[in-house]
Amino acid sequence: MTADHDHADHAGHSHSHGPSRDTQRKALWISLVANAGFLLAEIVGGIVFHSLALLADAAHMTSDVVGLTIALVAQRLMTRPATARHSYGFQRAEVLGGQLNGLTLLAVSGWIVYEAIRRVGDPGHVEGGGMLVVAALGLAVNVGCAVLLGRAQGRSVNMRGAYLHMAVDAAGSVAAIVAAIAVITVGADWVDPVASVLIAVLVVWSAWSLLKETTNVMLEAAPVDVAAADVEAALLAEPDVTAVHHTHLWSLASDVTAFSGHIVLDETDTLHEAQEAGTRIKAMLADRFGITHATLELECHPCTTDGATASAHGRAEGDRVTPTS
C-alpha cells in the first residue's frame, strides 16, 4: 500500500466551517477604523477631565489599534501562497499575531496598574460628567466592534485576540462609567484608579488565555474542539478499516486541523482500491471533523504488531494504537 496525501492549497482561505477569511478581514478593517477614530477623543477626554480610567481605557484602545493592525497583517500573510521553503504557506502568521496581541495586552495592564497605584493616595479631581459622556461613547464603539469580531472570529486565534481587545475594552468602558457615576453622585474620586485596576485584571485574564491557546498551537497540541478518540472511532467505523494506529492530530493554524495516521485496510487487492478507500476516508474526516489536511498511510496489515515496538515508536510520542478486532 502507499501513503495517501491531501495537500490542498492552504493559503488564502479557511478550512473550518466558520466565517471566511475575507469576512474576517472586513470585520478587522471596520473595527480598526472605528477604534482609531474614537481613540483621539478618549485621550483628550482623559486629559481634560483628569480621569485615569479614561486614560487607561485609551491606552488599551491604543493597544487595540496596534492589535487590530497586527491581526490585519497576519491575515494578509495567511493569504500568501506556499513556497518551496514554506510548503504550508504562512498559516501560523495568525498564531504569531495572536501571541503579539497577548503580549501587548500584558504590557498595557502593567502600565495601568502602575498609574493606578500611583494615584490611589492622591486621585485628584475628576470631572465626572465629561468622563461619563466619553465612557458611554466608548462603550458603544467597543460593544459594536466586539459583536462584529465575535461573529467573524470562528476558530481563529488571530481573530480571537482582536475580539478580546474589544471585549475587554467594553468592560473597561463599563468600569469607567461606574467610576464617573460614583464621582458625580458621591464625589468618590478614588473609584477612578480602583476601576482602572479592575480593568487591568480583566486585561491580564484575557491575555493569559490567549497566550495559552496560541502556545498550544505552536506546540502542535491537538485542537480542543476535535477529540482524537472520536476521530479514531470514526475511522474504525469505515468499511474495510480493521485497525488504526500511529495517529497524530494537530493544528497548522488555529482554524486548520491536520491529521496523519496509519490505516489498516481489509479486502483491498489493488492500489486503486486502496486509493479509493483513502479518498472516501478523507471525505469523511472533512465532513465530520473539518479536517481537510489528512495524510494517511494505508496498510494491508499493522506495521507494528509487537507491543514493545508499538510502545517504543508510538505511545512515547503520544500515538495511539488500536488493535485489530
Separation of alpha carbons 126 and 141, rounded Å: 23
User: By the 8 A CB rule, do 115 and 56 touch?
Assistant: yes
Please report the pLDDT score of residue 264 as a whole number.
94
> Over the stretch 95-143, which tens digit does the pLDDT of each residue have?
888 888 788 878 878 877 887 787 776 656 667 777 788 778 888 988 9
Count the Cβ atoms, other than its own, within 10 Å of residue 124.
Answer: 11
56: confidence class by pLDDT, cuts 50, 70, 90: low
* DSSP bridge pairs for 263: 244, 298
Nearest alpha-carbon partner for 263 in 236, 226, 283, 230: 236
pLDDT value at position 245? 92
Q: Over the range 268-295, which residues count as b (16 or more CB within 10 Å of their CB) and which as e? A: beeeeebeebbeebbebbbeebbbbbbb
Mean pLDDT of the region 37-47: 79
Nearest CA among 263, 268, 267, 266 for reference residue 248: 263
* Better-scored residue on pLDDT, 113 or 264: 264
Distance CA 101, CA 85 (A): 27
What is the share, in percent, of the chain residues with pLDDT greater than 70?
Answer: 83
Regarding predicted confidence, which is higher, 307 or 189? 189
Q: Report residue 74 as a C-alpha cell.
A: 497576519
Other C-beta atoms lying within 10 Å of the C-beta of residue 88: 16
> Which CATH topology does 21-218 take?
Alpha-lytic protease prodomain-like (1.20.1510)
Average pLDDT over residues 30-40: 85
pLDDT at 228 > cutoff 80: yes
Look up the CATH number of domain 223-322.
3.30.70.1350
Q: How confident is the model at residue 3 (pLDDT cuts 50, 70, 90)?
A: low
Asked if residues 109 and 207 have their Cβ atoms less than 8 Å apart, the reply is: yes
pTM value? 0.64
The 10s digit of each residue's pLDDT in 62-98 is 777 877 888 888 878 877 888 888 877 887 887 888 8
- What is the tens place of the pLDDT at every residue in 273-312? 899 999 999 999 999 998 988 999 999 877 755 544 343 3
| Minimum mean pLDDT range among 180-194, 196-210, 307-321 | 307-321
Domain locations along the chain: 21-218, 223-322
Query: Can you tell me the distance from the alpha carbon of 324 to that of 305, in angstroms, rounded to the nearest whole number?
Result: 10
Q: Helices (DSSP H) in the chain: which residue ranges?
A: 21-48, 52-78, 93-120, 128-152, 157-186, 191-218, 228-236, 271-289, 307-313
Q: Indicate if the pLDDT at residue 315 is higher than 70.
A: no
Q: How many CB atoms lie within 10 A of CB 315?
A: 11
- Residue with the bigger pLDDT between 315 and 152: it is 152
Give the bridge partners for 295, in sequence order.
5, 260
